[in-house]
Amino acid sequence: MVVTGDYASAYGALLCDVDVVAAYPITPQTLIVEEFSNFVNDGITDAELIMVESEHSAMSACIAAQACGVRTFTATSSQGLALMHEMLFIASALRLPIVMPVVNRTLAAPIGIWCEHNDSMPERDAGWLQMSCEDNQEVLDMIIMAYKIGERKDVLLPVMPCLDAFILSHTVEPVDAPSSDEVAEFLPKYNPYAELDPEKPMAIGTFTPPEYIQELRYQQHVAMERAKKAIKEVTEEFYKKFGRNYYGLVEEYRCDDADYILVTNGTVTGTAREVVDELRNKGKKVGLLKLRFYRPFPAEELRKVAENAEAIGIYDRAISYGVGGPLFIEARNALYGYTLPVYNFLAGLGGRDVTKKDVEKMFEIMMEKRKGEIYWLNTRGVKI
Amino acid sequence: MNIKDLPEESLFTPGHTACAGCAAPAIVRNMMKIFGKDTIVYTPANCLLVFSGTYPHLAWKVPYLHEAFENTAACLSGIARAYKKKGKKVIAVGFAGDGGTYDIGIQALSGAAERNEDVIYVCYDNEAYMNTGIQRSGATPYGADTTTTPAGRKILGKLEHKKDMAEIMRAHEVPYVATMSISHQKDFIEKTKKAKEISGFRYLHVLSPCPTGWRFDPSKSIEMARKAVESGMWTLYEAEYGEITNIYKPKKKIPVEEYIKGQGRFRHLTPEMIKALQDWVDRKWKKLYGELPQ
């Protein structure tokens, strides 16, 4: 089928046979909610659809429904995600594997609707698995894998597949969709670890004193660590069943003998892949590391490619003011003790296009071994 | 049906840590006896959460969920829809305080009411944020001394009247709205039973005298609740789809002054302030009963 990223999200949820969807519309996520509403009203699914009055309520309802032992789905973006902030921590701490695509959109002020990662990245500490998609195929596939990863008993964490606003959400691409039977074989019916049921009463989310909470935090941390293995195993299983390989937490592209490696996430990856090919044709030893996951962070994978590299560049579409891009902060942390230069390239903030020329510039800065760490590309009045 | 006809078994057990004289456990215990074991309870952040649901002790014999403060009605929606999908009948009941209902929770409450979710929302109204130490809420009556509306040298307590929450809910034209009081147990039980039998959105609003926040002797909670009804400070009625179908009129109406005089929170009221409170009650009375109090 030829569909938008938003449609791929909604269709992914449909294939996963979700039971309850609670959502609130926000541009550019609206199509996800609309498409799912169509599935319900056309009788394609008998999922319960709750069109709540805010994103805060959407996540609240999903948490409650999932605590009752059913598979839930919602989606959001930008301000809506920020409004959910409080509830994100509750979903993960109650160990409820909810799946919620986030269409990455700039977070006001000033208000804008285009692609920026400053909505999802500040949620890195909310205890959700967080990953970015390169194309609409990955969006669809990731929704399916997200339930499989999150619902594993050694993980039990919610998952946030992220897709770039408009570049994916509203752009149609050919997408290969598996049948619902194939998905059902891959993703069995939800089997909750615990559920609210009058037959066996229990309390979820009690008021809890200091004697107990630290252990729960530790368990969440361990679960996030375990998710790394789960992701690798699930992507492998997905590859065997559906023939598309996502290589776990990262995808290496021409990294084997590369001296200069650019680390990307989201849709910029596609542009960067072309630039890498062109530079390789010119004899430059460049490579690309696509980060699929931001949480858990693929520190080992990053260290592996850094072993023989001359320099590493980190692309960011968000900024942690006064420090640098969020991925850059993570990458530098992962590369602690390494001596190679680590550059941070900030481009495309507020939704501005990131072109092949911009990516070439990133490689150029790395190959010239320029001084300095943080480069803002295409920022008017700033020379690089 | 009377209180003595209720089942012996309590789904809300003794051993909770509520303050002496707190009306909330009586409200919850009696309601739970009627709702029965196929009930899933949600509480937002409130006194009830702390005194009945502090890990590892629990006063509930039914499934119990807490998420946050402002989302009772949204969480109830999630519970009800999950069970609708599962094809099993449960009652989704939320017990929220006045702060979680009148103030921070009103958006989720209004949304769920508009969607006519199949849930029971109970507001136990102790007229301030008692869990956090007696701060004013939209339910706090005019003149009351709270820690955020203190009876100071310049301003004597709360300047605004109590928001009429039941009327707001009635305006949603939901299947059932009832106001209740622990002093009128037969009425309380009948309304609870009725709420259980109806489907769709049901809103039960119970005045919950708080000896700690209102500052009265803990043995007088029922008396306070009764005087609230007799003075018109609290009104008992039922509404179905926005129409009042039953309204309780006290045989003998007492002056507001008689209701407030036993409460420390009103001790500082001047005669003008008492009159302002009485005028408010009279206006409300006329609106509900179509006549001025005798």
* Model confidence, pTM: 0.97
Read off the pLDDT of residues B37-96 as tens digits, 9 standing for 90 and up.
999 999 999 999 999 999 999 999 999 999 999 999 999 999 999 999 999 999 999 999
Taking chain A, what is the end-to-end CA distance rounded to the nearest angstrom?
A: 43
Phi and psi, residue A107, nearest 5°: -100, 125
**Residue A372 pLDDT > 90:** no
pLDDT band at B2 (very low <50, low <70, confident <90, very high): confident
A286 in Cβ contact with A312 (< 8 Å): no
Among B50, B60, B73, the residue with its CB nearest the CB of A207 is B50
CA distance B142 to chain A (A): 31
**Which of B37, B55, B65 lies closest to A196 in CB terms?**
B65
Tell whether B104 lies on the interface with A, counting CB pairs under 8 A: no
Q: Which residues of B211-230 are buried (b: 16+ CB within 10 A; e: fewer)?
A: bbbbebeeebbbebbbbbbb
Gap between the Cα atoms of A382 and B31, Å rounded: 68
B58, B71, B77: residue with CB nearest A203 = B58
Note which residues in 7-46 of chain A have CB less than 8 A from chain B. 19-20, 22, 46
Tokens of A275: 């630039």
The partner residues of A262 in beta bridges, in order of sequence, read A288, A313
Predicted local confidence at residue A134, as pLDDT = 97
pLDDT tens-digit series, residues A204-213: 999 999 999 9
Distances (CA, A) of B124 to A129, A131, B54: 38, 43, 19
- Please indicate if any CB of chain A lies within 8 Å of the CB of B132: no
Minimum distance, in Å, between the CA of residue B178 and any CA atom of chain A:
24
pLDDT, average across residues A307-319: 97
Q: What is the 3-state secondary structure (H, E, C) of B64-133?
A: EECCCCCCHHHHHHHHHHHHHHHCCCCEEEEEEECHHHHHCCHHHHHHHHHCCCCCEEEEEECCCECCCC
Interface probe, candidates A51, A56, A60, chain B, greatest B C-beta count within 10 A: A60
Rounded distance between C-alpha atoms, residue A38 and residue A34, angstroms: 6
**B-proximal residues of A, 282-301, CB under 8 Å:** none
Structure tokens at A276: 């890498």
B-chain residue closest to A65, CA distance? B78
Q: Positive or negative, the Cα torsion across B253, B256, B260, B261?
A: negative
In what helix (H) or strand (E) does residue A216 lie, and over which residues does it extend? helix A210-242
Of the candidates A48, A64, A202, which has its C-beta nearest B42's C-beta? A64
Using DSSP, state whether B255 is helix, strand or coil. coil
Judge: B78–A212 Cβ closer than 8 Å, yes or no: no
Does B293 have pLDDT greater than 80?
no
Range with the poorest average pLDDT among A356-365, B4-13, B277-286: B4-13
Distances (CA, A) of B77 to B92, B111, B125: 8, 10, 22
Question: Which residues in A lie closer than 8 A to residue B43 (C-beta atoms)?
Answer: none
Exposure string over B173-192, b if 16+ CB within 10 A, otherwise e: bbbbbbbbbbbbbebbbbbb
For the CA atoms of B121, B125, B128, B131, what is the dihedral angle to 10 degrees?
-70
CA distances from A113 to A26, A27, A53, A166 (A): 10, 7, 21, 9
Phi then psi for residue B120, to 5 deg, are -115, 120
B75 vs A60, A86, A212: nearest CB: A60
Nearest 5°: phi and psi at A133? Answer: -100, 145
What mean pLDDT do residues A281-305 have? 98
Supply B77's token pair.
């929606």
Strands A374-376 and A342-346 turn out to be parallel
Q: Higher model confidence: residue A143 or residue A383? A: A143
Mean pLDDT of A182-190: 97
Return the pLDDT at A229. 98
Residue given tokens 């909505």 in the structure block:
A119
Smallest CA–CA distance, residue A175 to chain B, in Å, is 30
Mean pLDDT over the full length of chain A: 97
Indicate which of B38, B43, B51, B65 best probes the interface with A, i.e. most A CBs within 10 Å of its own CB.
B65
- Residue of chain B whose Cα is closest to the Cα of A46: B85
Judged by a CB distance cut-off of 8 A, whether residue B89 touches chain A is no
Q: Tell which residue, A258, A78, A238, has the closest CA to residue A149.
A: A238
Strand partners, B60: B12
* CA B276 to centroid of chain Cα atoms: 24
What is the Cα–Cα distance from A295 to A129, expressed in whole angstroms? 5
Pair A74, A12: CB distance under 8 Å: no
Q: Closest approach of chain A CAs to the CA of B277, in angstroms?
A: 35
Q: What values do phi and psi take at B223, rounded to 5?
A: -60, -45
What is the spatial order of strands in the sheet that B39-42 belongs to? A203-204, B64-65, B39-42, B91-97, B120-125, B202-207, B176-181, B236-240, B243-248
pLDDT at B3: 79
- Tell me which chain A residues have a C-beta less than 8 angstroms from the C-beta of B77: 22, 50, 52, 57, 61, 64
Residues of A within 8 A of B66 (CB-CB) are 203-207
**What ipTM describes this predicted complex?**
0.96
Residue A57 has pLDDT above 70, yes or no: yes
Examine the pLDDT at A384 and tell me if it is beyond 80.
no
Number of CB atoms found within 10 A of residue B290's CB: 7
User: For residue B294, what pLDDT is reported?
Assistant: 61
Using the beta-carbon criterion (under 8 Å), do B85 and A47 form an inter-chain contact?
yes
pLDDT at residue number B252: 87
Residues of chain A contacting residue B53, judged by C-beta atoms under 8 Å apart: 203, 206-207
Smallest CA–CA distance, residue A247 to chain B, in Å, is 35
Report the candidate in A338, A337, A314, A342 with the shortest Cα–Cα distance to residue A327. Answer: A314
Reply yes or no on whether the pLDDT at B180 is more than 90: yes
